Structure 1
Amino acid sequence: MKKLAALLLAVALPMALGGCGLQPLYAGGGKGAVAQGLATIDVSPIEGKAGWLVRNALVDRLGAADGKNGAARYRLDIRLDDKLEGLALLSDDTIGRERRTLRARYQLVDLNNGQIVLDASDGSDAGIDVVSSEYAVIAAENTALENLSKDIADRIVTKVAVQLRKSQ
């Protein structure tokens, strides 16, 4: 009896999900409309070390045209706000913990008509332990920035992909 119920559930569940209206974002893989749209995005230069890291992560994730052959249909403009603040004062008035925050404000611009297709912002933060070794603290701050840059790039690509999917 349990096997019959499991079999019915296995057959009925995919049929029920098919009617819910959900569609895969990256249908068609690299040849799909969203992947092709992402590849036509030119990422504008971004100021600073964080900007360099975010831009490189975006170009990697988008498979972007990056001005190589003039195939860009969209331009992604990004402004970053990178903050490092001390938290948790210890008994000897030194900082015991830091918080690194990276915020991005970005716009996806259609190069055919200059229209802003997407105007959004995202952010991410990381906690850093401050230890007695300055080198270890600097290394931790840099690692946090690298990880935050990748996270911001992932968030931007997701929102852009969803927007491109909606505009199809």
Structure 2
Amino acid sequence: MLWLLLLAFFVANQQSVTLADQPKILRFPINGTEYYVAGSGYYSRDWAIDHCRLVGMVPVSFNKGEDLYTEIYNYIITQIEYPNGVGYWTSAIKTSSSSDSWIWETTGEKVAKFYWAEGEPSFAEDEVGVCMMFSVQRQGWVNDYCKRTNVGATIVCEKEIEQSE
């Protein structure tokens, strides 16, 4: 009997992503790339990455020109009913204790330009295991622990739009 209770507890606490538990989604194209914003929720970065993969995409990397972050930010604030209470995970991750060690995990490129919110980055310069999200409420990028699960965050995913011949 105890093993049934343990099994039920384990199953109830799984964080796997299925199509049944998808949040409200917005899709929009910008310059040959499709972006996909999952609605508000409390999702870990791992869940967010799985969510992108499930729909054939990757977490967003703002490495395609200076205006991309502004375009996505403006789209979110005009199209999502309550965008302020949510952070949006990106593919940026701090890879070493150096302050300039931020990379876009999905491309391997260094983050070239930062749009930090006031007071950010908030972790010690030598801290690792830190990822980046952007916040509408704080009007810029914020950092948080990659493994944190109780943060109000969702994800922006991206993929190149296939050109038909």
- More contact order relative to length (CA 8 Å, sep ≥ 6): 2
Q: Assess same fold via TM > 0.5.
A: no
State the TM-score, normalizing by the size of structure 2: 0.25
Q: When you count helix as a share of all residues, which structure comes out higher? A: 1
Please tell me whether Structure 1 or Structure 2 has the larger radius of gyration of its CA atoms: 1
State the TM-score, normalizing by the size of structure 1: 0.25
